[in-house]
Structure formats: C-alpha cells, structure tokens
C-alpha cells in the first residue's frame, strides 16, 4: 500500500520528461512507472496530475534567514526567520534551502553550528542546511575545526574576498588564509562557496564616487563593477588551481567577466561551478531608477543588458549551474531605508516566486526543456552541494520532495499572491505556471494555495560532496 500516487503528470525524472505515475511510500519515492501501472486502490490518496508538471522540489542554495542587517543609522536588525521564509518557499514549490552559519572570532566551528541550530531547529517548514561562513583573520586552529566539520557533514565553506561596503570592514579573508582553507577543502573533500569581488577596486570606487558627490545608489554598478568581478574571480580561481582538488562554487555571478572566468577554469578541467540570481538575469542597473529601485538590489550589483545576456548564455554553456535568490526577508520600509551606494541593504525577497518566475523565463519564453529548467532551480544545486540523489530527483529511493506546477493563461504576479513580506521585486512579472501543490518528504504541505505544513516539519540535511563534483566540472 502506497501513501500517495501522483497520477498522469508530466514528470521530470533523471532520464528525461515523460507522462508517468509516481508512487510514494512514507517519506520517499517508491516507484516511477507508466501511467496506470499501479492498481486502483493501491494508495491511500491518488492525486490527479493530468496536464500538470511534476518536478523535484526547488532547492535554493543561497538564503539568509534571521540575518544581521546593518542599517544606515549605524544600528542593525535581524531579518525575518526560517519559519516565515520556509513557508513562503514551500508556497512557491521550494522544499530545501541552504543558509549560512557565521563563525566569529570568539567561538569555534562546532559552537557556530550549534548556535545556528537554535535559530532553525523547530522553526523551519522545509528541509535546510548551512554553509559555514568565515570572516576576517583566520586563526590557525580553525583549519582543524573545518576539517572536522567537513567530515561531520558540513562540507561547504563561504569566503568573502571583499568587505563589500566601507562600513562592513572585517569581512574579507586575505589570500594567504584562503590558500590554507583551500588546502583543507581539497584534502577533506569540501567545497568553497565564494563571494568574489576585488576589494581594492570596490573601495576605490566608493572613495571616488563619494568624492565626486555621486552617492545615489543608482550608481551601484560603477562601484561593484565588471572589472572587480573579472580580477577577483581570476585571482581566486588561479589560487584554487594551485591546490589540486579545490572545488569552488562562485556565488551570485553578476557579470559577463565572471561567466568568462568560470568558463576558462572549467575548460582547464577544474571543478568550478557558477551560481547566479534571478534578479541578475532579469533586471539591470537601469532598474535602480524605477520607484523603490532598491528592491532590485543585492550585492555585488545589477549590471548591464550585455551582462544579463552572458548569464543566460552561461546557463547553456555550463558556466552557470544554479539560479538562487540571496534571500533576505524584510519589509519594504527596511529594504528602501538606504539610498546611497554605501548603505543600500543587500539580499532580496524571492524564495517564493523563483520557480514560477524561472519557469516563465526559461520554459515559456526561451524554450528550455523542463529537465534543463529543473536542473537550474533544483537538481544541479543538489548535485553540487552533496544532496543528490536524496534531493533534486524524482527517482525510487529519493525523498518525496515534489512541486506540481499548473500551467495557466499568463497572468501578472501580485504581491497579494505571495506569503513572504509586504513587497516583491517580482510584482507585475508575467507568470505562466505556478505550484498548485508542494510535497515535502511525502507530506502535502501546500495544496491550492492552502498551507498545511508546520515549522516542525523541516529537517537539517547533513551533506557530503560527491567525488565526481570535485574531480572536474561534472555539470
């Protein structure tokens, strides 16, 4: 007896897309078979998915919940937490999020993870995991702790090569320390997840624009510019090349120069992967001039139409493997409180609309196959981050994390459709399909817009990066 059968949908499986029935027993997928294979009455519930798309639940590998957000007046606040963001994510068909556990100098890696668990355990409606985030000067003792953490199921390490803004000094890690971390990653089978910008160029441009009294945030793309991405990506990729076995995931690629640097490294056989954000693909620096233009911003910055094209091309050539959100959930008031190049808040509200928006842009508008689309919003993140095939696949033995999308006549997305906060950068965006049902490990958690999940449903995901991901550019 199965618990659920999803019958007759267009199912995205590792072998391709076909009309299939999916049988679920408990928390996992028991079988995927031709329509009608399973006898009537062989499941407690049969969900009719005819005419609908049945895909692996979305995976967002880059979110920040309950996150320290510096404000222009010098104070700071915490952004909304995992309960709220995960609920919205599930409404939008995303079933797994990867956030960050930020190490600080007064603690160790183990305690960093334990402290972050206090924010998350019992407070997340979907499954989740953390990247370990390092900042500032790294004490030598930290390297051993990182090695232990990688072995214990926390294999991804976030590093900044920039302080990002003049007020956030102490964030970047110098290249000597990055070099030592890479040696640990290579030896232990970890993965570096990198925010790469050239700090000298970025800080120079802050000084220059402040001197010239051109501080309005519309000029952000001049500060966090293509040259910065070019120089920093190449430097960090060369460093990785010097330590064989170093695999890197370049976060929020925003410029064509970043795409080119990743492509060159991959052409050498290096295990380098690229993430972009849906706002970088679909907005550019001109959008900063729209009313409340801050809502389109995250760091580094929106760029030009040519950069957008390079990001899209990267999804076809393999240099861009995932589309994430850099989720920061806050109100419109907070998101627009800063208006200078040096005080605009980063992050973006997008965990919920990501699947619907990218379906429209990839499948409906650009003719991507359903498989390619599912790779970019789910499966590739699972593969790179050490979650596959438990996550990111509709296959026997995988967790039954499923989004069922209903295609419909194109409509405009309204913020009232969404469950996250009081604004969305995606309001007014045309939508061609939307999740009608989301299933998390066999439990129907969203059905026709009704939320049936709970903050007790989510589970932490320990991870191990697969050897083929580290051996070379596997995707």
Interacting residues with Zn ion (CB under 5 A): 326
CB of 457 to Zn ion, least distance (A): 25
The nearer residue to Zn ion, 163 or 326, going by C-beta atoms, is 326
Residue nearest to Zn ion (CB): 326
CB of 420 to Zn ion, least distance (A): 16
Question: What letter does residue 41 receive in the DSSP assignment?
Answer: T
The nearer residue to Zn ion, 326 or 352, going by C-beta atoms, is 326
The nearer residue to Zn ion, 326 or 457, going by C-beta atoms, is 326
CB of 422 to Zn ion, least distance (A): 21
List of residues 6+ apart from 90 with CB closer than 8 A: 125, 126, 438, 440, 445, 446, 451, 453
The nearer residue to Zn ion, 135 or 443, going by C-beta atoms, is 135
List of residues 6+ apart from 151 with CB closer than 8 A: 188
* Structure-token match 């040696």, residue found: 183
CB of 137 to Zn ion, least distance (A): 21
List of residues 6+ apart from 443 with CB closer than 8 A: 452, 453, 457
The C-alpha atoms of residue 344 and residue 336 are separated, in whole angstroms, by 7
Question: For the chain, what is the radius of gyration of the CA atoms?
Answer: 21
The C-alpha atoms of residue 401 and residue 392 are separated, in whole angstroms, by 8
Quick one: which of 59, 8, 12 has its CA closest to 37?
8
The C-alpha atoms of residue 298 and residue 469 are separated, in whole angstroms, by 28
CB of 252 to Zn ion, least distance (A): 7
Tell me the HSE value of 390 on the side-chain side, using a 13 A CA sphere: 16
The C-alpha atoms of residue 271 and residue 207 are separated, in whole angstroms, by 36
The nearer residue to Zn ion, 43 or 194, going by C-beta atoms, is 194
> Which residue stretches of 194-322 are H helix?
199-211, 220-223, 226-241, 256-267, 278-282, 305-317
CB of 298 to Zn ion, least distance (A): 7
The nearer residue to Zn ion, 229 or 326, going by C-beta atoms, is 326
CB of 351 to Zn ion, least distance (A): 12
The nearer residue to Zn ion, 325 or 336, going by C-beta atoms, is 325
List of residues 6+ apart from 221 with CB closer than 8 A: 285, 288, 301, 302, 303, 304
CB of 62 to Zn ion, least distance (A): 6
Backbone angles phi, psi at 424, to 5 degrees: -150, 135
Q: Are 465 and 190 in contact (CB under 8 A)?
A: yes
The burial class, CB within 10 Å (0-12 / 13-18 / 19+), for 36 is exposed
CB of 82 to Zn ion, least distance (A): 15
CB of 418 to Zn ion, least distance (A): 20
The encoded tokens of residue 210 equal: 């402040």
The nearer residue to Zn ion, 21 or 326, going by C-beta atoms, is 326
DSSP string, 313-344: HHHHHTS--EEE--EE---HHHHTS--BTTT-
CB of 326 to Zn ion, least distance (A): 4
The nearer residue to Zn ion, 197 or 326, going by C-beta atoms, is 326
The nearer residue to Zn ion, 133 or 433, going by C-beta atoms, is 133
The encoded tokens of residue 454 equal: 């709970």
The C-alpha atoms of residue 459 and residue 76 are separated, in whole angstroms, by 29
The nearer residue to Zn ion, 145 or 326, going by C-beta atoms, is 326
The nearer residue to Zn ion, 54 or 102, going by C-beta atoms, is 102
CB of 273 to Zn ion, least distance (A): 16
The C-alpha atoms of residue 335 and residue 318 are separated, in whole angstroms, by 33
């Amino acid at each position: 007896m199965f618990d659920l059968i999803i019958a007759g949908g267009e199912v995205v499986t590792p072998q391709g897309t076909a009309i299939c029935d999916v049988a679920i027993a408990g928390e996992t997928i028991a079988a995927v078979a031709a329509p009608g294979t399973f006898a009537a009455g062989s499941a407690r519930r049969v969900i009719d998915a005819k005419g609908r798309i049945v895909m692996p639940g979305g995976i967002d590998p880059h979110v920040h919940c309950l996150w320290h957000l510096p404000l222009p007046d010098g104070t700071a606040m915490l952004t909304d937490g995992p309960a709220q963001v995960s609920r919205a994510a599930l409404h939008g068909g995303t079933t797994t999020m990867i956030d960050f556990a930020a190490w600080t100098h007064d603690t160790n890696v183990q305690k960093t993870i334990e402290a972050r668990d206090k924010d998350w355990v019992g407070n997340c409606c979907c499954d989740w995991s953390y990247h370990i985030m390092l900042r500032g000067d790294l004490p030598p003792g930290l390297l051993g702790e990182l090695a232990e953490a990688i072995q214990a199921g926390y294999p991804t390490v976030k590093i900044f090569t920039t302080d990002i803004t003049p007020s956030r000094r102490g964030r970047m890690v110098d290249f000597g320390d990055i070099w030592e971390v890479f040696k640990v990653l290579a030896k232990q089978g970890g993965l570096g997840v990198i925010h790469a910008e050239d700090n000298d160029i970025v800080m120079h441009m802050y000084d220059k624009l402040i001197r010239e009294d051109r501080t309005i945030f519309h000029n952000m793309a001049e500060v966090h510019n293509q040259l910065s991405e070019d120089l920093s990506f190449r430097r960090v990729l060369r460093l990785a090349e010097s330590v064989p076995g170093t695999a890197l995931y370049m976060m929020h690629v925003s410029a064509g120069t970043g795409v080119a640097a990743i492509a060159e490294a991959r052409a050498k056989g290096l295990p380098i992967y690229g993430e972009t954000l849906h706002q970088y693909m679909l907005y550019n620096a001109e959008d900063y001039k729209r009313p409340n233009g801050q809502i389109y911003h995250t760091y580094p910055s929106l760029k030009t139409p040519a950069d957008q094209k390079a990001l899209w091309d990267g999804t076809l050539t393999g240099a861009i493997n995932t589309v994430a959100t850099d989720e920061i959930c806050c109100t419109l008031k907070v998101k627009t409180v800063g208006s200078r190049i040096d005080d605009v808040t980063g992050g973006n509200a997008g965990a919920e609309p990501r699947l619907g928006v990218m379906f429209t842009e990839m499948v409906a508008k650009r003719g991507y196959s359903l498989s390619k689309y599912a790779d970019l919003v789910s499966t590739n993140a699972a593969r790179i981050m050490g979650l596959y095939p438990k996550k990111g696949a509709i296959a026997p033995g995988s967790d039954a994390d499923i989004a069922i999308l209903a295609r419909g006549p194109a409509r405009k997305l309204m913020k009232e459709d969404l469950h996250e906060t009081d604004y969305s950068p995606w309001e007014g965006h045309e939508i061609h399909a939307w999740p009608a049902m989301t299933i998390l490990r066999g439990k129907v958690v969203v059905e026709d817009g009704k939320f049936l999940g709970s903050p007790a449903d989510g589970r932490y995901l320990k991870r191990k990066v697969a050897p083929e991901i580290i051996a070379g550019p596997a995707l």
